[in-house]
Structure 1
Amino acid sequence: MKFATARVEGEEVIGFIQDSQFINLTRASKGDFPKTMNEALQFGDKLIHKVNEILKMDITEATVPLASVKLLAPIPRPAKNIFCVGKNYAAHAIELGSEADIPEAPMFFSKTPTTVIGPHESIPAHEHVTEALDYEGELGVIIGKKGFAIEKEKAFDYVFGYTIINDITARDLQKRHKQFLLGKSLDGSCPMGPYIVHKSALNHPHALKIETKVNGELRQSATTEQLIFDIPELISVLSQGMTLEPGDIIATGTPAGVGMGFTPPKLLKAGDTIEITIEGIGTLINSVNS
């Protein structure tokens, strides 16, 4: 199942994607449905049952071609900062340093909610504050169940689904300030989408091909089986002293091939288009705007 947030006839609604059609769940349920994705995710896996009940009804008037709606980020305004993982692919750690930079424990940082934008929305170049904007294609994990001190063996019980994240980074700010938050949290620096794919449709999240192209040039190509710290470990470590809640987002890290990893660096500039494709989810496309 693919879930999306979209703007239809000027209204922000939650939808379900089926055969290139957008089913407006807000309209199909005649108002008996959460108004935002954050609210819907509070149902966890029960949301699937609720949608299946709606699909048994006459949904003709609530169904439109997917191409006719404007997709937004699946969670346009997260309730918390996005949890991000640094250097979670060995080759990426090496391209920005050396083998000594491969972490022995997960490196966590965050991006603020104001970073989130949707598919085909413009990424601000922020030329007044950075000269080193970079891309990072990543698998995003959406939490669907409240949990604390989660055991690795039970971690997938707390996952609702998956999406695509572009962890746009201002490398110069990151270096200057000796920490990640500012360089990772410029407005519009977290493109997300186009959908949330329920975990039942991705049985092997650690075997997904991930590719990033910039202006059609392949820059990143890997599979999620190359993650140093897998999804259960990330969830378990995060939750040992922190409560994870429905709607929380974990960006699992980026493979090798970021702009800063090239000699000379291939950093983003106004007009560049970034396409990130993850097997089983789709393609997230955004361009940099001056």
Structure 2
Amino acid sequence: MKLVTIDHSGNIHLGVKLDNNVFDITEALKAFPEEGIPTDVMSVIANSEAVIPQLERYIARVLEGATAGTAYLLDESQVSYGPCVTNPGKIICVGLNYRKHAEETNAAIPQYPILFNKFNNTIASPGDDIPLPNRVTSQVDYEAELVIVIGKQAKYVSKEQALSHVFGYCNVNDLSARDLQMRTQQWLLGKSCDKFSPLGPYLVTADEVGDPNQLTITCTVNGETRQSSHTSDMIFHCDEIVSYISQHMTLSPGDIILTGTPEGVVLGKPVDQRVYLKHGDVVTIEIEKLGALTNRMVDELL
């Protein structure tokens, strides 16, 4: 299942991406009420084993009599999406987790996952304009990344059991202000500016994705391919990451883990060839099976 959030002029509806349309669950419930159907994505994540089969049955029942143009069956081209995970409890990030990216930045291959965090102020929607905070940085970089979304509480889970605690996966652009990131040994400042983690468009359940380390991953800027890689190049694969983090903290439904970026970022280029993101640049992150996430960079106006 591909879950989405639909932004109706600031009101967020839960939806499901179908083959040719988007099914607006919130609108459907007005015409076809049914108890127990969730209307927000965080409730689905937290109760997936019971809710997903119920949602599938409900959508099938409603679609039996549906026609195009109804309030609950939308043409995707007319949909404004919100972030596919609206309120993550934790935002945990893995640094230097692609072998070729570590090599391009002349960094040592990590012996353990390098962890840092972001905050909810960084969450943004597909299609959002992303403000470049030019008062404090001139080096904003793109980073295409696969996101793991936790679906079941995980504590001290083994590598073999780790992925059974995953609800699904999505795209993120882990935007990074490199001058702020490298100012100290702690990367947080360069990673946590407002809207520096656009998520989406789809939150795809784990059963549809299959092996998360067998996916192509790309980033384009103004249509030019900058990153083109494969999640198999991760140093620590998704099962290792979930297991490792769970040894040190409890992972809860709705937590998200950003799993690192492949080679091709601006930081990996020779100093005299580095051209960081600027006003008007359009960045698209696309991962196999997860759709495409596009955002435009704009100068921050305060």
Q: In the alignment, which residue of structure 2 is the partner of 1:276?
A: 285
What is the aligned partner in structure 2 of residue 183 from structure 1? Answer: 190
Q: Which runs of 5+ in 1 are unaligned?
A: none
Match of residue 155 from structure 1: 162
Q: CA deviation digits over 1:112-167, x for unaligned, max 9? A: 11101011101111000111100100011111111211111011110111100100
Tell me if 1:56 matches 2:60.
yes
- 1:222-252 per-position Cα deviation (integer Å, ceiling 9, x unaligned): 1011110001110001011211111111111
Q: Which residue of 2 aligns with 1:129?
A: 136
Shift of 1:262: 1.3
- Measured after TM superposition, the shift of residue 31 of structure 1 is 6.5
TM-score (ref. length: structure 2): 0.91
What amino acid maps onto 1:77 in structure 2? N
The corresponding residue for 1:79 is 89
Where 1:70 maps in the other structure, the secondary structure is coil
Question: How far apart, CA to CA, are the structure 2 residues paired with 1:230 and 1:54?
Answer: 35
1:88 aligns with 2:88: no
5+ residue gaps in structure 2? none
* 1:145-224 equivalences in 2 (<5 Å): 145-224=152-231
Answer whether contact 2:44 2:52 (CA < 8 A) is retained.
no
Letter in 2 for 1:45: E
Aligned AA (1:76): T
- Taking the aligned partners of 1:70 and 1:15, their CA distance within structure 2 comes to 11
3-state SS in 1 of match to 2:202: strand
What amino acid is the match of 2:169? Answer: Y
SS in 2 for 1:50: helix
2:76 corresponds in structure 1 to: 66
C-alpha displacement of 1:9: 6.0
Q: Deviations over 1:21-61 (max 9, x none)?
A: 11112233436433321122111233321211212322434
Task: Say yes or no: does 1:44 pair with 2:48.
Answer: yes
2:15 is aligned to: 15
Q: Distance in 1 between matches of 2:34 and 2:174?
A: 35
- In the alignment, is the contact (CA less than 8 A) between 1:28 and 1:54 conserved in 2? no
Counterpart Cα distance in 1 of 2:245 and 2:157: 9
Range that drifts further, 44-53 or 227-236: 44-53
Give 3-state SS (helix, strand or coil) of 1:7's partner: strand
* Percentage of matched positions with identical amino acids: 38
Q: What is the one-letter code of the residue matched to 1:163?
A: C
Aligned residues between the structures: 287
Per the normalisation by structure 1, the TM-score is: 0.95
**1:287 match:** 296
Question: What pairs with 1:22-41 in structure 2 (closer than 5 Å)?
Answer: 22-29=22-29, 30=33, 32=35, 33-41=37-45
Structure 1 distance, partners of 2:296, 2:181, is: 22
Shift of the alpha carbon at 1:268? 0.8
Measured on the aligned residues, the alpha-carbon RMSD in Å equals 1.4
Q: Indicate how the Cα distance of structure 1 residues 158 and 289 shifts in structure 2: closer, same or farther if over 3 A, else same.
A: same
